[in-house]
């Protein structure tokens, strides 16, 4: 069925498009004018802050260079040696001048470096060495000497006749004013600072300048304005009185100006940037013209699109719908179904298109989500030796964003210290994830010299692969060690947690990464010997000493002996000696855990108590976990000491309880011997008499007599009946009552069971014999 769009419908749609465009442009213009100032303020504050940080970074780099120079031996010799210029002294000065020249050549922001020694009164630069008195033009350096207080960053004094500013460092730089012996003055190239001002939105660099705390201009594109004061301006007092960053509004005859400022916490200086009303108006005029041009363009496009759709829409859409219907009604064998003669409805078409795009989005999402898993998988394959060729692994490495060199590798294993505390603070997985991200950022910061990647290897550890651009075992090992130490220090500051890092050996080939990983994974267990916040290498862990191992075994036997003596204090002393000897043997954590378990087992054998053995078997896994969680020898010794103390206390309580039980059962047996003739004697009767439970009394009988109460009572009564039968002519009924039986049948039954015959037969047998 054909469909045509009439001219009236086309006119309506065209008018509607134009109305929407005009309303959109009007609203956009009004909102743009209102938001323009806020956008200008926000963007310029951010850019000004970035420039301020760049200035601070440049000055900090220069400051660090001067500090390193002050720490050198040649610098120390220059400041502290006031004697005559010997050949050796002059040679040292020549080397120091070379250092100054190298630093100036390496950093174009520094114009000159002057060292003045108060002891010798001489001035040293990269090219000269002479007494300060002989150079009147350099006399301004005296203004920074003596016991007076001077700032670190200063403008050049008038006597210096320079627009540059100065970095002043006293020697020693940690000494007080009275203890100074010299000064180092570095001239900073002012133009290198003013060149940074060109990134601002309205900047021609003439409306940006750097001032000190007093409002004096330190850096400006116009050299004539340097050292001039801004206090005559109306905004000066407000800007100088504020800290941090922000802006103030200055009202002038031509309109209002926005005065942005950013205060440096490092130098105390302020970077000031002024945007005039004319510049703001120019920007708003530009926006106006842009919106008008966009409106005209959109109207033209809307009219053209309306005409184009009116003339060209139906045929392609009809063909598209027909093609979809053909594909939809086609059977899997490729032929059209006879039952599917109805055309595809628009709703069905919409559903099909939605299915296509939804399926594509889901597939794309799954692809992106699989990248971290792919990264983890390929790193596991490399570390476990499943991938041994760099050429075959390189495409996958590039796909997941891992950069490695084809050769020269070292593997680091990283583990948080005090993991028990860390688990209370939060999820260990989050900390390890953050640790890996930080590690990769720090690797990237080393530019192309080192490349690598980091992953979480298990619940407690992360692993980092470092690859190096250049060959060299010693150089790359030193670089890896330096990186590890810097990484540990960074984590300690930023995470407020310490880590231990173990470093595997250096290998040239890709397939040997597994060896380096296994070495580092083994070394991390030696953290228990090295302590927290340690970088562990194979050089730090020595070989075993068989003689010292024998001393360890002797200490184990000594612990067994003190437990046998039930002496807790002596056991603690012997345990302390045991751990000292174990530390000298460089045993790994796993060996220390097994050693502790052996100590516990030997102590239990010494105790020879089945109940304690059963308790240990029940709690064996918990004890093993407690020992595994220990991160230092001290923690492990405390765990073992507490277990030994509990064992000794249990032994003491057991022995004390056994003694009391023995006394109790003796009293019970004595009572039975004296009162067996009581017919009502029973377990309950005796339990009430001796204030114990019947079950406990039955248990004591079993332990001490190896029979139950009833059998023991029968035995006592039968022995008494035996004496009466053979020593007296008493009748059997009387004998039964005499030994505690009110039922004569019970007496006969028990007697025959005990002696194997009736009382009459027993008496006759023994009397006849």
* Whole-angstrom distance, CA of residue 560 vs CA of residue 101: 71
Work out the mean pLDDT of the chain and round it to a whole number. 80
List Cα–Cα distances, 505 to 281, 407, 675, in angstroms: 66, 14, 84
Distance of CA 169 to the CA centre of its chain: 37
Higher pLDDT, 489 or 176: 489
Domains of the chain, first to last: 48-277 (3.30.450.20), 370-540 (3.30.70.270), 546-656 (no CATH), 676-768 (1.10.10.60)
With 0.85 as the threshold, say if the pTM is over it.
Answer: no
41 pLDDT band, cuts 50/70/90, is confident
DSSP 254: T
pLDDT tens, 544-571?
455 566 667 777 777 777 777 777 778 8
Neighbour tally for 415: CB within 10 Å: 20
pLDDT, mean of residues 496-513: 90
pLDDT tens, 377-388?
898 999 988 888
* pLDDT value at residue 338: 46
**Phi/psi of residue 467, each to 5°?**
-120, 145
**pLDDT of 543 over the 60 cut:** no
* Whole-angstrom distance, CA of residue 721 vs CA of residue 57: 110
Least confident piece of the model among 20-24, 269-273, 306-310, 367-371: 367-371
**pLDDT of 37 over the 70 cut:** yes
Is there a contact between 717 and 739 (Cβ–Cβ < 8 Å)?
Answer: yes
**pLDDT of 673 over the 80 cut:** yes
Query: Counting beta carbons within 10 angstroms of the beta carbon of residue 219, is it exposed (0 to 12), middle (13 to 18) or buried (19 or more)?
Result: buried
**pLDDT of 521 over the 60 cut:** yes
Q: Which residue has the tokens 């850019």?
A: 47
**pLDDT of 153 over the 80 cut:** yes
Q: Which residue has the tokens 């040292």?
A: 92
* pLDDT value at residue 313: 64
* pLDDT value at residue 612: 61
pLDDT tens, 123-136?
889 888 888 888 88
Residue 431: closest CA among 524, 499, 504, 502: 499
pLDDT, mean of residues 519-532: 75
Least confident piece of the model among 29-33, 61-65, 493-497: 29-33
* Whole-angstrom distance, CA of residue 406 vs CA of residue 397: 12
pLDDT, mean of residues 141-164: 75
**pLDDT of 312 over the 70 cut:** no
Is there a contact between 428 and 637 (Cβ–Cβ < 8 Å)?
Answer: no
pLDDT tens, 402-459?
999 999 999 999 988 777 666 554 578 888 888 899 988 989 888 788 999 999 888 8
* pLDDT value at residue 359: 63
* pLDDT value at residue 425: 47
Encoded tokens for 24: 């959109």
CB proximity list for 226: less than 8 A, separation 6 or greater: 163, 190, 217, 218, 219, 220
% pLDDT > 90, the chain:
7
* pLDDT value at residue 524: 80
**pLDDT of 507 over the 60 cut:** yes
**pLDDT of 327 over the 50 cut:** yes
pLDDT tens, 51-91?
888 888 988 999 899 888 888 888 888 888 876 777 888 88
* pLDDT value at residue 422: 62
**pLDDT of 519 over the 60 cut:** yes
């Amino acid at each position: 069925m054909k469909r045509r769009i009439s001219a009236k419908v086309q006119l309506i749609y065209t008018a509607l498009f134009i109305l929407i465009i005009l309303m959109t442009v009007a609203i956009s213009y009004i909102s743009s004018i209102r938001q323009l100032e806020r956008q200008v303020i926000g963007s310029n504050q951010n850019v000004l802050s970035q420039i301020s940080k760049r200035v601070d970074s440049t000055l900090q780099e220069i400051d660090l260079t001067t500090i390193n120079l002050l720490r050198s031996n040649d610098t120390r010799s220059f400041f502290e040696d006031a004697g005559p210029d010997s050949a050796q002294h002059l040679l040292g000065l020549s080397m120091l001048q070379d250092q100054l020249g190298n630093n100036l050549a390496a950093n174009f922001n520094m114009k000159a470096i002057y060292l003045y020694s108060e002891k010798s009164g001489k001035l040293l630069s990269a090219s000269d060495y002479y007494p300060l008195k002989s150079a009147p033009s350099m006399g301004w350096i005296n203004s920074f000497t003596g016991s007076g207080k001077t700032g670190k960053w200063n403008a050049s004094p008038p006597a210096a006749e320079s627009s540059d500013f100065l970095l002043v460092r006293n020697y020693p730089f940690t000494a007080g004013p009275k203890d100074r012996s010299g000064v180092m003055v570095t001239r900073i190239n002012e133009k290198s600072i003013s060149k940074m001002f060109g990134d601002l939105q309205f900047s021609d660099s003439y409306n940006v300048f750097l001032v000190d705390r007093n409002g004096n201009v330190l850096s400006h594109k116009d050299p004539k304005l340097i050292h001039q004061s801004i206090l005559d301006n109306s905004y000066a007092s407000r800007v100088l009185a504020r800290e941090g960053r922000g802006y103030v509004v200055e009202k002038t005859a031509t309109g209002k100006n926005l005065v942005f400022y950013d205060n440096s916490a490092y130098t105390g200086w302020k970077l000031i940037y002024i945007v005039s009303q004319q510049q703001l108006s120019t920007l708003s005029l530009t926006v106006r013209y842009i919106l008008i041009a966009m409106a005209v363009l959109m109207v033209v496009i809307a009219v053209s699109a309306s005409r184009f759709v009116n003339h060209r829409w139906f045929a392609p859409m009809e063909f598209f719908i027909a093609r979809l219907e053909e594909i939809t009604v086609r059977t899997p064998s490729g032929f059209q179904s006879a039952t599917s003669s109805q055309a595809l409805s628009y709703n069905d078409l919409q559903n099909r298109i939605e299915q296509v795009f939804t399926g594509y989005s889901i597939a794309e999402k799954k692809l992106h989500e699989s990248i971290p898993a792919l990264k983890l998988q390929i790193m596991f394959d490399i570390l476990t030796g499943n991938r041994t060729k760099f050429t075959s692994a390189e495409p996958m490495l590039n796909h997941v964003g891992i950069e490695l060199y084809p050769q020269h590798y070292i593997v680091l294993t990283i583990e948080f210290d005090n993991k028990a505390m860390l688990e209370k603070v939060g999820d260990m997985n989050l900390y390890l994830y953050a640790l890996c991200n930080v590690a990769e950022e720090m690797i990237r910061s080393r530019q192309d010299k080192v490349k690598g990647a980091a992953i979480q290897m298990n619940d407690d550890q992360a692993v980092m692969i470092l690859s190096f651009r250049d060959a060299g075992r010693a150089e790359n090992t030193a670089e890896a060690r330096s990186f590890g130490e810097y990484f540990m220090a960074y984590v300690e500051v930023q995470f407020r947690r310490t880590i231990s890092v173990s470093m595997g050996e250096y290998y040239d080939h890709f397939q040997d990464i597994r060896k380096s990983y296994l070495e580092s994974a083994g070394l991390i267990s030696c953290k228990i010997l090295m302590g927290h916040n340690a970088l562990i290498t194979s050089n730090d862990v020595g070989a075993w000493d068989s003689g010292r191992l024998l001393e360890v075994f002797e200490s184990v036997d000594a612990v067994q002996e003190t437990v046998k003596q039930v002496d807790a204090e002596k056991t603690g002393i012997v345990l302390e000696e045991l751990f000292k000897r174990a530390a000298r043997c460089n045993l790994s954590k796993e060996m220390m855990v097994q050693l502790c378990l052996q100590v516990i087992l030997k102590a239990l054998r010494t105790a020879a108590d089945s109940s304690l053995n059963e308790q240990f078997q029940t709690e064996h896994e918990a004890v093993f976990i407690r020992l595994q969680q220990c991160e230092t020898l001290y923690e492990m010794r405390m765990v073992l000491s507490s277990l030994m103390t509990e064992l000794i206390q249990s032994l003491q309580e057991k022995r004390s309880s056994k003694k009391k039980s023995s006394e109790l059962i003796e009293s019970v047996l004595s009572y039975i011997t004296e009162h067996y003739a009581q017919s009502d004697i029973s377990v309950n009767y005796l339990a009430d008499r001796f204030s114990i439970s019947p079950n406990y009394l039955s248990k004591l009988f079993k332990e001490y007599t190896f029979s139950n109460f009833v059998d023991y009572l029968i035995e006592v009564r039968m022995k008494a009946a035996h004496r009466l039968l053979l020593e007296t002519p008493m009748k059997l009924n009387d004998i039964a009552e005499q030994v505690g039986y009110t039922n004569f049948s019970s007496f006969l039954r028990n007697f025959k069971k005990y002696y194997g015959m009736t009382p009459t037969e027993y008496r006759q047998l023994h009397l006849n014999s």
